[in-house]
Structure 1
């Protein structure tokens, strides 16, 4: 009997050797150990960029060859992941309304491309996704949505981090620790994408869509961030709200038995090592931890949108007293709608986020202000 690790390691090679070439535009993939036999359409292009195949085991370097990741992932408890709920922050300013409108337009286009049906009652909490009549999709459509979603979700953090990095260099000033959190968010979204690519490789159509979407979205977001970083962070917060809804509905489909193909589908090694999952972790547990990540991005970006973009330090990089609720990298104190400026560690934010206020290295003022300078 193969162990979970051996089964997971042998899956890519098993899948790669079971391709039967039919017509010039179609292949049948016998998904063997993981998926069961089912048909998928592929391109017949000889360009490896457009080929839709499962990666061969010998094409990827063993994870053991790499040192510890620069952005280690916090380990979430079952209770913390169970507490993740669908939530929405009401728009209060013109910037909020612009961000929300942009997200709604993007979502409609995205829904059409992936065959997804948005349910406003589920999004507002009036209806549960566990209902017997709830709309659900096939595993292929879910994976297409996940892959497209994560290929776009990794853009904002990198673009914003790059802009703030260059801004810090140009003005010869500290960035107050925003850059690392933004880059870590982009890194996390890319790991989500790499995880899902172990289950399905997109064909020509989706790769073309991703190529075009990334080119358009990156440039629009880049220019928008130069004009209004606050609106951009609110925009990302609203996008992450939609991501939490998407993963919640996928989780409900698995738990309701609507996707039997995923009930015993093992998580790939890259996810096991990055998320800190157990070796026997399956697709359901994988989606639960990814949903928790999206919920955290939702909180982080709504929080950053509530702060002064050029003056306030990143509250997720500060040091706090343990017995007080405060922003954290994990799920210890979650605020789905983001932390307001005055809520962060009581009155500390009002005192230590004023323009020109310098932090003193080695000293800890009353109220648990930061004990060291942040880059």
Structure 2
């Protein structure tokens, strides 16, 4: 079986072993913020979704002694990077947060390589049990109703190749840029609900029963925040009307309470439902990307990426909107993989295999889930990697003290 309380305690001990150095880092950084002429001696690890990169990035740029303007410019510039022989960290690109803000305001930054964002595949998990069929049926019903209300009918090719773009949109075979935005805004305003509900209920359970959560809460919160950041990104392209906001208010209220009750009854079925829901999200964004690359959404063909997206996904400053949608699709792929994997576990006793790290997109993009035995093996591998990192850090500190 998966490691439970003892394994979590061991993980806590390993994390605690790294706390003294981390506290020194935080104190040094705070001192640096109060006295800009003092350089922080060390760097601070940032938590991100894990990919193939193994790098460590400082919290802020190196200060300059030539004045505050130059110091701020350098703090906003490219961050110094130092290689770290670890699978638990990755490269953190330069932030564009205003200079008066130091540090991060989100739980994590999902950063993907160009190869990773192209590794996503539209795949489906077969229904094996009655509960799987029930969860999938609810998702298909919701999508069918939403397509009907929005007037969208997907076809692989236009019925008449001579039809113009305007005719295809009028007939409902293609969505306009505004219709795509309406669809995305509505979906993302709902998609942030399950993670927050799951995190809330597991948090209250942990308090009520006075026991560890086994690492599920943080992953659920990350999912909820990630979906909210999708919404914040697309809202920079369009501000919804009062009527649209009223629709979202009603839909969110109904969905929150229904999902709350369903998670109380069966967390596994609830996670399976979200897994199937994310399958549909991956399909939607894949179709959107295909439409953009085919030139069927000309309004977005050369549209620059919103600044909030550049900050959040650590994109290059010259990124386009299609780069953002590729990143969003990768996020949805992660949620698809994580929720299907969690649905295979015992929510009362099993450890969340993604509490310490996650597979890269080459795995999540083409694999629908971890079976329970795969999750168990992944947890063991994570502990071994953590031990290697602690040993590396201890050896590094010993060598520095001996110099």
Same structural fold, with TM-score higher than 0.5 when normalized by the shorter chain: yes
2:82 pairs with 1:82 = no
**Cα drift, residue 224 of structure 1:** 0.2
1:114 is matched with 150
Size of the alignment, in residue pairs? Answer: 280
Summarize the alignment of residues 347-358 of structure 1 with structure 2, pairs less than 5 Å apart. none
1:339 is matched with 370
Q: Is the 8 A contact 1:298 1:336 kept in 2?
A: no
CA deviation vs aligned residue, 1:207-230 (integer Å, no higher than 9, x gap): 111000000000000000000000
1:12 is matched with none
Three-state SS of the structure 2 residue aligned to 1:344 is: helix
**Cα drift, residue 79 of structure 1:** 1.1
Q: Which has the larger radius of gyration?
A: 2
Alpha-carbon distance between aligned partners in 1 of 2:235 and 2:151, rounded to the nearest angstrom: 19
Could you tell me which of 344, 364, 368 is aligned with 2:384?
368
2:261 is matched with 223
Alpha-carbon distance between aligned partners in 2 of 1:65 and 1:205, rounded to the nearest angstrom: 37
The verdict on how the C-alpha distance between 1:332 and 1:65 changes in structure 2, with shifts beyond 3 A counting, is farther
Alpha-carbon distance between aligned partners in 2 of 1:148 and 1:155, rounded to the nearest angstrom: 12
Summarize the alignment of residues 207-286 of structure 1 with structure 2, pairs less than 5 Å apart. 207-286=245-324
Alpha-carbon distance between aligned partners in 2 of 1:102 and 1:166, rounded to the nearest angstrom: 27
Alpha-carbon distance between aligned partners in 2 of 1:128 and 1:309, rounded to the nearest angstrom: 44
The verdict on how the C-alpha distance between 1:308 and 1:370 changes in structure 2, with shifts beyond 3 A counting, is farther
2:241 pairs with 1:203 = yes
1:139 is matched with 177
CA deviation vs aligned residue, 1:18-43 (integer Å, no higher than 9, x gap): xxxxxxxxxxxxxxxxxxxxxxxxxx
Summarize the alignment of residues 251-330 of structure 1 with structure 2, pairs less than 5 Å apart. 251-318=289-356, 327-328=358-359, 330=360
CA deviation vs aligned residue, 1:313-364 (integer Å, no higher than 9, x gap): 1101246xxxxxxx43x42532542100112364x76xx7xxxxxxxxxxx9
Q: TM-score, normalised by structure 2?
A: 0.65
Alpha-carbon distance between aligned partners in 1 of 2:334 and 2:149, rounded to the nearest angstrom: 26
2:68 pairs with 1:68 = no
Q: Is the 8 A contact 2:110 2:312 kept in 1?
A: no
The verdict on how the C-alpha distance between 1:231 and 1:371 changes in structure 2, with shifts beyond 3 A counting, is farther
Structure 2 segments unaligned to the other structure (5+ residues): 1-96, 389-403
The verdict on how the C-alpha distance between 1:313 and 1:78 changes in structure 2, with shifts beyond 3 A counting, is same
1:183 is matched with 221
Q: Is the 8 A contact 1:115 1:141 kept in 2?
A: no
Q: Which has the higher contact order (CA 8 A, sep 6+)?
A: 2
Alpha-carbon distance between aligned partners in 2 of 1:80 and 1:281, rounded to the nearest angstrom: 16
The verdict on how the C-alpha distance between 1:64 and 1:331 changes in structure 2, with shifts beyond 3 A counting, is farther
Alpha-carbon distance between aligned partners in 2 of 1:65 and 1:137, rounded to the nearest angstrom: 41
Alpha-carbon distance between aligned partners in 1 of 2:197 and 2:182, rounded to the nearest angstrom: 24
Q: Is the 8 A contact 2:309 2:315 kept in 1?
A: yes
Normalized per residue, which structure has more helix? 2
Q: Is the 8 A contact 2:223 2:335 kept in 1?
A: yes
**Cα drift, residue 144 of structure 1:** 0.3
**Cα drift, residue 113 of structure 1:** 3.1
Summarize the alignment of residues 31-70 of structure 1 with structure 2, pairs less than 5 Å apart. 63-66=98-101, 67-70=103-106
Three-state SS of the structure 1 residue aligned to 2:361 is: coil
Q: Is the 8 A contact 1:88 1:336 kept in 2?
A: no
Three-state SS of the structure 2 residue aligned to 1:368 is: helix
Alpha-carbon distance between aligned partners in 2 of 1:107 and 1:269, rounded to the nearest angstrom: 31
The verdict on how the C-alpha distance between 1:216 and 1:173 changes in structure 2, with shifts beyond 3 A counting, is same
2:135 is matched with 99
Q: TM-score, normalised by structure 1?
A: 0.69
Alpha-carbon distance between aligned partners in 1 of 2:302 and 2:122, rounded to the nearest angstrom: 26
**What is the Cα-based RMSD across aligned positions, in Å?**
2.6
Alpha-carbon distance between aligned partners in 2 of 1:261 and 1:295, rounded to the nearest angstrom: 26
